[in-house]
Structure 1
């Protein structure tokens, strides 16, 4: 794992200080990420790269904080 990357936890439960983040739009639409507090504050922008048989497809999501521990990543419009 490189600096700034975080594992996505589909089945983890959030602890009191962890951040709960929802993705809206694009290929990650509806995904919920629980970011452990030990990883620090959520990143302001997340880049998702989809690799397949054709050219790579890049999507960027920008964070909208709702509270100290919750936020929504919205798909950035090109």
Structure 2
């Protein structure tokens, strides 16, 4: 019996989520986009792929980029 391929999420609203796949994906996604819809504005979180040898891979929340300076 083979072990499932485990995908973990670190940070943001998906922190602690664990998905199990039956096998290793041939070409895992480099990023995962999570869109939170609610009564207010749409909130987008981007997770970047990071490998974890002991269990598969994990997606880590991308650090927010600094807002550009506004001149004016």
Report the Cα distance in structure 2 between the residues aligned to 1:59 and 1:21, rounded to whole angstroms.
17
Q: Which residue of 1 aligns with 2:11?
A: 25
Structure 2 residues not aligned, in runs of 5+:
65-72
1:65 aligns with 2:51: yes
Question: Is the CA contact 1:24–1:30 (under 8 Å) kept in the aligned structure 2?
Answer: yes
Structure 1 residues not aligned, in runs of 5+:
1-14
The structure with more radius of gyration: 2
Give the match's secondary structure for 1:20.
Answer: strand
RMSD, aligned α-carbons: 2.3
Runs of 4+ with >4 A deviation: none
Q: Which residue of 2 aligns with 1:52?
A: 38
Give the match's secondary structure for 2:9.
Answer: strand
What TM-score results when the alignment is normalised by the length of structure 2? 0.72
State how many pairs are aligned.
Answer: 64
Report the Cα distance in structure 1 between the residues aligned to 2:63 and 2:19, rounded to whole angstroms.
21
Q: Which residue of 2 aligns with 1:77?
A: 63
What TM-score results when the alignment is normalised by the length of structure 1? 0.67
